[in-house]
Amino acid sequence: MSRRHVPELLAPAGTLDAVRAAVANGANAVYLGASMYNARDEGAQLSLDELGQACAIAHARGVRVYLTFNVLIKPHELNEALVYLGECIDRGIDAAIVQDLGVVRLIQQVYPQLEVHGSTQMTVHDAGGALVMQELGIERVVLARENTLEDIRLIREAVPDLGLETFVHGALCISYSGQCFMSGMISERSANRGSCAQSCRKDYTLNDDSTGATLDQGYLISTKDLAAHDHLEEIAKLGVGCLKVEGRKKKPEYVATVTKAYRGWLDGIARGEEGRAPTIDEVEPLVQIFSRGNTGGMYGGRQGREYITRTQPDNRGLTLGTVVGQEGDDLIVEVSRPLTVGDGLGFESPDPSSSANIGGTVQSVRAMGTRDGLHRQVVSVRSGLRTTRVASGWRVVRTSDAKLLSEAQASYANVPMPERVGAIRVDVRCFGHAGGPLKTIWRAGELESSVRGEVTLAPASKRSLDMTQLREQLGRLGGTAFKLGSIDTSGLGDGLFLPVSELNRIRQDAVEQLEEQLGWARSSDEAVRVAHIADAVTAVPVSGQARSESAAPALRVIVYDLESAREAAAGGATEVVFDPFLRHPAPPRSRVITLRDELTAQGVGLRLRTPTIVRPEERKAIAPWLALGLPLLSGHLGLIREFGGDRDVIADYATNVFNQHTAAMMFEVGASQLVASIELTVEELQALTAPWGGAGFDVLVYGRPEGMTIEHCVLSAAFDREATTCRDLCVQKHTQVSLTDPAGYTFGVATDSACRNRLLHSRPIDASEYLPALWAQGIRGYQMVFNVAGDPVQQLVRSYRDILDALAQGAPTPASASRVLLDGAFTRGHFARAV
């Protein structure tokens, strides 16, 4: 029987042992991060030397290595980042996983031989976004974790030549990757910069803002872990090229266990095994090694209440049984799997309202018998020096399995750790005869040195120079850039003697000469590379955006209801941006057309804001709105490309325009105007917009950014309802809800037209104090957003308009009236706080 093609299995690695674990257990490729510019800021980074070793380990077994270069990069970092990437390429990486669109283009210019994969942080979730990736020359894109099997089928049909990669196991982000700004706004630890503060893993209270009632509480946006083993056959049939396991911060034992399991299942598919679901025994090691509780993800559609952990945010372990009694300081347990010394145990209260749990490590075990499949054992459990005691009825959860860990460690124990990776081979030729000096010629590639001895060779009375002694003394090259290759002694007489100290001196002189030559060569190569990078970074393709420092300000105000639209116009907005998709229900389109006519009569424009996420099945729902022909504000790459040539399209902040090269690419894709990233400081905004003199850019200066875009609906989950069929909750019963974190900060939750949640920041940004600095940079586009009920829209818009009018007239700017209106309840955002 011929073997079926199956996708590549891509395993994570945060350490060299994890690389060894991956290759030993069947990974086709590993992905890893070096010490800079990767989306894991600590605990999962390799040094450059370790990266070289990792590539050697992988390549020795035919395994590819992908470097995570998947963060947004600031203007002043571009040169350093590209030089560093070059050093990683020198170590042997096969591809780079990239988030920043501008960096993609720069890599293509500076390192055209390097394969580039689009990170899931690019938020590619439909055919439109995938087509942009293909046109940019990206070889493969990692799809959003929220995509269903049907989504993937449609993307594959639309863009058959683009490589597709999808996650199948590991931790899930509750937000669409690339669209989480919550961590950065709260703590200055940006998820787009590799510093996510795990805001989703906190416990929250869901409240009805109108009544004050508590609707739900717990870990409401903490996802279970993905385990898509039941969908592997279907994913493979769709033509997905790569299956990815999450876990660069996990231990090598996790990598070994998960990789081994998925390798086995994929091999079964390759053999033609169809319709075979993994057994409980096959899945159990994955649950045991690390799990917050497993979910099949969204391949089969939304999971509702079962998608999140609810009661805890961390490793859950495997529930085995209960405590049934005590024997002195020991516990008597009945468990479905026998416990062994070294196992980690947790004990959970039987009270469903209690989250109490304690644990420890098994110190001793005594079997009492087995009955009906349950093993009764007496166990001694300690946490540090303290004996663990719990009452009968408490659940026994095995948090770590000593036998499983031992088996995992053994699986990669024989994978050798390479020595002196990257050292340059040097071959030596030796010449000489009795009464003359030893002459040596050292050659390493194009480098060559010649060293003549200062002590004459003499006939040996005892031990003569032989190959063993020469290799021992001339091969002592540790700490240098070289390693000894061959030694040619055909020109050396027999039976000669030379002191060891003289051999060492010859070696030292030769190495010094070679290293000097190597330094010259490397300096020359590095200088060429640095100059090439500098030229590429400096050469920003500027076109289409007229430079004008005297242009009148554009004050664009984003609203979701008709009343606020009219208030914005009355307050001085030059353009109203209407978002009919933010909350249920959207007003009839006929009323929006009427609004357009009203605003036009006042000299105010109307623009339509599209969702950032438009999965394939949702395109029909937004099509009638797009057919209105209004200018657009969109964070959706595919829509910007599709409509950018025919109408005025502003790229929203969701496109993550972080540097000048990303800006140039977004203009190239079709945007007429760009909203700068909301994670840049005033100084960084200047560097971003400088090539255009500020023209062509908007800055969000007021309002609550969408901190997360979530496919999951916390409101439907609270009532255990099926999302998309419970609109009575968000339209009628609980129209204004919010999540409150342990610190007391409250985040509004907007349930949009596709029944996904958009988490709004707890306080509005108020950048009124920075308007003069932004104006001085030549920026003339300013945005305000009103996405919660009760804001004094007209007064706030007027306060900004007054400042902008004063700046346009060169008059002194008035005191910020917005600060009075907000009464201290605001944030300055990132205008002065770098991420």
Of 411, 439, 470, the one marking the end of a domain is: 411
Q: Does 828 reside within a domain? A: no
Same domain, 673 and 693: yes
Q: Which of 63, 82, 24 is nearest to 55 (CA)?
A: 63
Q: What is the pLDDT of residues 686-700, one digit of tens each?
A: 999 999 999 999 999
pLDDT (0 to 100) of residue 525: 83
Same domain, 441 and 393: no
Q: What letter would DSSP give residue 175? A: B
Q: What is the CATH number of the domain that holds 340?
A: 2.40.30
Same domain, 574 and 653: yes
Residue 817 structural domain:
554-704+764-822
Q: Which of 69, 141, 139, 74 is nearest to 98 (CA)?
A: 69
Domain count, the chain: 4
* Lookup: tokens for 408: 């995992």
Q: What is the CATH number of the domain that holds 619?
A: 3.20.20.70
The CA angle 551-553-554, to the nearest 5 degrees, is: 120
Same domain, 367 and 245: no
Weakly modelled stretches of the chain, pLDDT under 70: 1-2, 40-43, 355-356, 544-550
Q: Does 729 reside within a domain? A: no
Of 380, 411, 442, the one marking the end of a domain is: 411
pLDDT (0 to 100) of residue 420: 78
Same domain, 321 and 302: no
Same domain, 273 and 348: no
pLDDT (0 to 100) of residue 41: 60
Q: Does 829 reside within a domain? A: no
Same domain, 570 and 644: yes
Q: Does 753 reside within a domain? A: no
Of 482, 506, 538, the one marking the end of a domain is: 538
Helix, strand, coil % in the chain, rounded to nearest 5: 35, 25, 40
pLDDT (0 to 100) of residue 2: 61
- Between β-strands 697-703 and 765-766, what pairing exists: parallel, antiparallel or unpaired? antiparallel
pLDDT (0 to 100) of residue 86: 96
Half-sphere exposure of 363 (CA within 13 A, CB side): 14
Same domain, 285 and 362: no
Same domain, 693 and 619: yes
User: What is the distance of C-alpha 757 from the center of its chain?
Assistant: 21
pLDDT (0 to 100) of residue 574: 98
Give the ranges where 25-158 is alpha helix by DSSP (H): 48-60, 78-91, 101-110, 127-135, 149-158
Same domain, 289 and 322: no
Which residue in this structure is represented by tokens 């060559």? 448
Ramachandran region of residue 293, left (φ > 0), alpha (ψ -120 to 50) or beta? left
Same domain, 506 and 640: no
C-alpha pair distances (Å), 352 with each of 204, 317, 348: 18, 18, 10
Q: Does 416 reside within a domain? A: no
Q: Which are the contacts of 201, defined by CB distance < 8 A and separation ≥ 6?
A: 219, 222, 313, 314
**Does the model's pTM come out above 0.85?**
yes
Q: Does 95 reside within a domain? A: yes
Q: Does 235 reside within a domain? A: yes
Distance CA 444, CA 433 (A): 25
Q: Which are the contacts of 98, defined by CB distance < 8 A and separation ≥ 6?
A: 69, 70, 104, 107, 116, 117, 118, 119
Same domain, 159 and 29: yes
Q: Does 71 reside within a domain? A: yes
Number of residues assigned to the chain: 835
